[in-house]
Amino acid sequence: MPEGFFVHVRSNVDKDCARLLRAVDPEPVWHEQGNRKVTRLVRFLRRGGEAAEGQPPVSRHGGAGFAGRFTYSVVNGGKVLRYGNASVQARILALGGPIEAKPGRFLTVPIAKEAQNRRARDFPKAFVMRTPEGKLFLGVLEAQHASALQSVGKGKRKRLEIRRRTSTGFKALFALVKRVFIKPHPYGMEWDAADNAALRKSLERRVAKANREKG
What is the full per-residue pLDDT of the chain (215 aa) written as tens digits? 456 788 887 778 999 898 888 888 899 999 999 999 988 887 777 665 555 555 555 554 444 567 778 889 999 888 899 988 888 888 888 888 999 999 889 999 999 988 987 889 999 999 999 999 999 999 998 876 666 666 666 766 676 666 676 667 889 999 999 999 988 877 767 788 889 999 999 998 888 888 888 76
3-state helix, strand, coil in the chain (%, to 5): 35, 30, 35
CA end-to-end span of the chain: 40
* Beta carbons of 166 and 141 less than 8 angstroms apart: no
* Beta carbons of 122 and 137 less than 8 angstroms apart: no
Q: Which residues pair with 144 in a beta bridge?
A: 167
What is the model's pLDDT at position 192? 86
- Cα gap 63→45, rounded to integer Å: 7
Residues sharing a CB contact under 8 Å with residue 1, sequence separation 6 or more, in sequence order: 71, 73, 82, 86
What is the model's pLDDT at position 106? 93
Handedness of CA 207, 40, 14, 26 (dihedral sign): positive
> Whole-model pTM?
0.61
**What are the boundaries of each domain within the chain?**
1-96+183-215, 99-179
The total number of residues shown for the chain amounts to 215
- Cα gap 54→96, rounded to integer Å: 14
- Cα gap 45→42, rounded to integer Å: 5
Ramachandran category for residue 84: left, alpha or beta (phi over 0 → left; psi -120 to 50 → alpha): left
